[in-house]
Each structure stands twice: as structure tokens, then as C-alpha cells.
Amino acid sequence: MRSITTKLLLFLILLTGLSASSPSFDFRTGRHNNVCKDLKNDVLLYFVFVDTRTTSPWTEFDILSTIDSIQVAARWLETQATGHGVTLRVKTDYYIGDEFATIQRNLPGNSIRETIEQQNLAKGMESLNRWGDYISKIIGESLYIKEKDGIPTQKKPSNKERLIAFLRDEYQVESVALLLLVNNYYRSDISLAINTLQNEDVEFSVVSYKYPSEIAHSVLHLYGAADLGESPFRKSPRKLRIANQAFPDDIMTEVYAKSLSGLEIGEFTKYMIGWSEELDPEFEQLLFERASIFR
Ligand SMILES: [Zn+2]
């Protein structure tokens, strides 16, 4: 009897120790959060083509085919919304200089992946925040600000937050999804949604590829969707197995080069983006990942 009690005690100590050493975070922090709350009503997807020292240059052809992909992604999101009884009107626009000029700003690391792996996810995202602010300031300087009695009605946007606020007024939408596109055609990198789980800075996505599926996936992250495939935010092999079994065709799985026509918005993602208010308890475990991924 004594040995059973000792074993039980040891087991309890071990269990407490384990849970204390690996606290988890909850993807629900990203639901109804930051600038892109629910994917409903009128939204603007705003794209910026960015050239860097280490990515392929954006050619006119690349830009035009990406604009086509953006349209495919926007219409797919609207069709999915209609299918789930949700009202959604997606406007799209993009920043483009004269003669397909892009914004030139090197990534903090040689790639998005390297930027977050050089330091850690938290610090990598901090430097991408500064990168995004610089790009937004360049866009801000090029914008036409309305004047009243010869005086500009507002200052030119000088960072991501001001740019998003400007666009929201200009396009009369409830939310603005800001997506910064780098050209990783023929290269291997990741796309990353930033600030989706906090409120200290505005959320935006850095997108590596021009597939419609990658664009739709990146937009959905901003509205609260969590990865169902391996990513910097989703690492647990057990949860990846569960996700893969339950939602093999979900848009939040690894969608690289997959056609949108074979993908869907499944139960879990629907809940995350505010298209439903209840989640089957069976999938609750997918709401958590270890907080240690940020360190
Ligand atoms: Zn993702």
C-alpha cells in the first residue's frame, strides 16, 4: 500500500512538473482579436509587392498573375461564406508604383524562416514588425490625402497601424487585411501571420507564394484561423496527426501548391474565424500548443 502511495505521489509530482515546464497558449486569443476580428460583411484585402535582396524580383508577369490569384482567393472566400450562411463582401486593392514598381526593403534575415530562426519566433516577429512599418511608411508617403481649405485633413500614414486606419476609412470597410508579398518562386520559404495572438501592434501577413490557396490561408490567419499543418505555430506531432485525420482538406493545412477547388473551411476553422460559436469538444485540444515555440 505504501509503495502505491509513493508511486502515486511521484506520478503527481512528475505531472505537475511537466505541466509547469511546458505551459501552453490558446489559439482562441486570436478570435475576435486585433484589426481583423470576424470574416464577415465588408472587408478589404490590401496587398503590397515587396522586393528584397534575397527574393526573386517581381516581374510584371509575376505581379499580374498574383493579382489573378488574389481575385480567385477573394471569390473563393465569398463562395465559402455563402455556403455557410455568412454575409461577406471582399474588396481587393494593392499598392503598386509606376510601371509595376515595387517597394524595396530587405527582410531582417535572408528569408522569413531565417528571420524567425536566427533569434526566436517572438524576436523574429518584432523585426518583421519594423520591416512592415517601414514599408507602410513608404506607401503612406505616396498616398493622396484630401485637403480642406488647402490644409490636409490628416497626416500621411507613417506605420502599419495608421495605414490600416487610413484604408479602412477610404474603402468604408469593417476590417483591412494587410498582406506583404515577397516573391519566393523557385525558393523554399514560409508565409507568416504576425501579431494575430496579441494586441500590442496591428496584425498583418507576410506571404511567400502566389497560389490562391496560400493567399486565402494567409488571409484567414488574420481572422483568427490556426494552422492545422506544420508551421512555426503548430509543432506537436500528436496534434498534427489529429488535425490531419479530422481535416485533411482544410484550407489551414499545409496548402503549398494545392488547388483551392479541393479545399474547404472545416468545422475547426469555421469556429476560429467567427463563423460559428461552438466547437465540438473533440477538437478542443487543437486550440493549444506549447508556449515554448516563442522562445
Ligand atoms: Zn499558416
pLDDT digits (tens, 9 = 90+) for 194-232: 999 999 999 999 999 999 999 999 999 999 999 999 999
Helices 60-83 + 212-222 axis angle, to 10 = 60
| Per-domain boundaries in the chain | 23-294
Rounded CA separation 112/238 (Å): 26
- Gap from CA of 204 to ligand 1 centroid (Å): 12
CA of residue 19 to ligand 1 center, whole Å: 26
Least confident of 78-87, 95-104, 237-246, 275-284: 95-104
pLDDT value at residue 87: 97
Which one-letter DSSP state was computed for residue 234?
B
Question: What is the CA(60)–ligand 1 centre distance, in A?
Answer: 27
pLDDT at 17: 46
CA atoms within 13 A on the CB side of 125: 21
The rounded mean pLDDT for the chain is: 91
Ligand 1 centre to CA of 235 (Å) is 12
Which pLDDT score is estimated for 174? 93
Residue 205 near residue 218 (C-beta atoms within 8 A)? yes
pLDDT of residue 18: 47
Per-residue pLDDT tens digits for 34-93:
999 999 999 999 999 999 999 999 999 999 999 999 999 999 999 999 999 999 999 999
Position 5 pLDDT exceeds 80: no
Alpha-carbon distance of 240 to 229, in angstroms, equals: 6
What share of the chain in percent tops pLDDT 90?
80
Q: What is the mean pLDDT of residues 235-250?
A: 97
Give this prediction's pTM.
0.90
- Cα-to-centroid distance, 211 and ligand 1 (Å): 13
pLDDT in tens, 47-58: 999 999 999 999
CA separation for the pair 157, 136 (Å, rounded): 7
Most confident of 5-14, 93-102, 248-257: 248-257
Q: What is the DSSP string of 194-226?
A: ESTT-SSS--EEEE----HHHHHHHHHHHTT--
